[in-house]
Amino acid sequence: MNNGEIVSEASRRRTFAIISHPDAGKTTLTEKFLLYSGAVQEAGAVKARSGGRGATSDWMELERQRGISISSTVLQFPYGDKQFNLLDTPGHRDFSEDTYRVLTAVDAVIMVLDTAKGLESQTLKLFDVCRSHNLPVLTFFNKYDRPGRDPLELLDEVEQQIQLRATPATWPVGIPGDFRGVIDRRDGSYVRFTRTARGASEAHEELLSPEQAAEIEGAAWTQAMEGCSLLEAIDANVDMPSFLSGHSTPVFVGSAITNFGVRMLLDAVADLAPAPTSRTARDGSVREIDGDFSAQVFKIQANMDPNHRDRIAFARVSSGKFERNMDMQNARTGKDVGSKYATTAFGADRDTIDTAYPGDIIGLVNAGGLLIGDTIHAGAPVEYRAIPRFSPEVFAVARPSDSGKVKQFRKGLEQLDQEGVVQVLRDPEGFITEPILAAVGVLQFEVFAHRLMSEFNAPTEIAHMNFDAIRITDKESAPRLREIGGIRIMERSDGQLLALFESRYRLQRLESDEPGLTLRPITTAD
């Protein structure tokens, strides 16, 4: 193994995610990154017109129908001398568990804010996850081509609500709705933009001197320079140590739909975002980046190729060099993991991959036995910390609508359960034959039923259930819990017993009156 090769290749990787509240422009920005990188010739749209390209990252049928992202998507492409691993994430809170898991596999995040709305609820929740993982955050004030709020007001909001010092790297010329271009505060240059039709192609960029800008832009330039002077006076300048430590966020201004400011943000990812570094294992040891190969599974996706009913485990390479057909083991089970059909991903498109380096995302096709959070390794054993699991908030019974499709229904339940977004719970004593679905949000049930029908030809009825809380329990506590009304004991596919409560008040009383019972919240360590 050439350790120098591994370090060199890792230094070229930029592995990052884009987060936002729904409709802030996250998927549109993703498409424009692909356009400016040369990965696509024409940018797609979240809601494509007839005959137009849909978004590359929204590859599911239901995503294209609804115009929303349902599942995270891996997009790998070169940009300049760098190799980008971009993970597009769902914005809607009902699909947030998928996003939370993705954030364990990246080294940096772009936070997209709608200029008119600023920080919104889902963005705040996702940022808290970023902070818990010490992820550096780049901020993009999007939709500046539309009426919106003053950028100074937005900077103050970022600092007040999430305690990140906002340090603008670019500054707009023109007010929201009358966007002329941006000043790069790092070198003082001014880039003037020209709008393109539907933003399908790159926006024309014109580099102007301050004198030329003053003559052409007039009052808009004067106002922009006043803003820059104020930022300089308060020392709101990009500071790399502060950014990498999670104390400040470089801010970029633009409009993804018109391509204004997209290239400058993409360049910033290459220049500012950190390369992969060594990771700490569950036992506290450090796996050096040029050590033996290791990776962690953060996502499982069934039926990306409906013709083959395949199952792909996506894993982020943490150390060493991956080579197809190499011998690998699952740290949890000790069993061998096949690498013959390893792939790279670009939305729904896949290509066989022969090598991969730290920061890269590999897809392992039909690698039996892999679960979310599993560590795979070659050489010296290692096991990384568990991937966060979040407590379900909504519950429903699932039953086949067509008695002749029971076999397909059961197969679909098994495969979709492995993805881990909707948990399938069963009665361990067999008194209740129908499985209970548990999820973070109700839209997951609609997606679940749609996929059972479209992917497995299993029409499914979903009936919502009035459970208010869920707790981890054990075999010792289960008999007592069954004696109490309003509690149902179910078993997860990994064998974990769970107690479902119809009343949160009953749960609280039980925790107080019978502290000897095992009733633990679902957490990372479950």
Q: Tell me the per-residue pLDDT of 265-293, one tens digit each, with 9 for 90 and over.
A: 999 999 999 999 999 999 999 999 999 99
CB 98 within 8 A of CB 90: yes
CB 238 within 8 A of CB 250: yes
The pLDDT of residue 424 is 93
Q: What is the DSSP string of 173-241?
A: ES-TTS--EEEETTTTEEEEEE--GGG-SPPEEEEE-HHHHHHHHTHHHHHHHHHHHHHHHTT----HH
| 471, two tokens | 């707790």
The pLDDT of residue 58 is 43
- Of the candidates 484, 439, 489, 487, the residue with the CA atom closest to the CA atom of residue 464: 439
Place of tokens 């424009």: 32
CB 128 within 8 A of CB 34: no
Residue ranges of the chain that CATH labels 3.40.50.300? 14-71+88-272, 279-377
In this structure, are strands 13-20 and 82-88 parallel, antiparallel, or unpaired? parallel
The pLDDT tens digits of the residues spanning 75-122 come to: 899 999 999 999 887 655 656 677 788 889 999 999 999 999 999 888
At 472 the three-state DSSP class reads strand
CATH of 394-513, one of 3.30.70.380, 3.30.70.3280, 3.40.50.720, 3.40.50.2300: 3.30.70.3280
Asked if CATH classification 3.50.50.60 holds for the domain at 279-377, the reply, yes or no, is no
Quick count: other Cβ atoms within 10 Å of Cβ 379? 16
| Burial class, 267, CB count within 10 angstroms (exposed 0-12 / middle 13-18 / buried 19+) | middle
Low-confidence stretches of the chain (pLDDT beneath 50): 46-54, 57-60, 63, 66-70, 525-526
Q: Exposure pattern of 121-148 as b/e (b: 16+ CB <10 Å)?
A: ebbeebbebbeeeebbbbbbbbbbbeeb
Q: How far is CA 409 from CA 422, 439, 456, in A?
A: 15, 18, 7
Q: What is the DSSP string of 18-52?
A: EEESTTSSHHHHHHHHHHHHTS-SS--BTTPPTTS
Place of tokens 């995610």: 17
The pLDDT of residue 526 is 45
Question: How far apart (Å, rounded) are the C-alpha atoms in residues 331 and 384?
Answer: 9
Residue ranges of the chain that CATH labels 3.30.70.3280? 394-513
The pLDDT of residue 56 is 53
Question: How far apart (Å, rounded) are the C-alpha atoms in residues 272 and 270?
Answer: 6
CATH number of 14-71+88-272: 3.40.50.300
- Of the candidates 28, 37, 36, 32, the residue with the CA atom closest to the CA atom of residue 83: 37
The pLDDT of residue 21 is 85
The pLDDT of residue 139 is 98
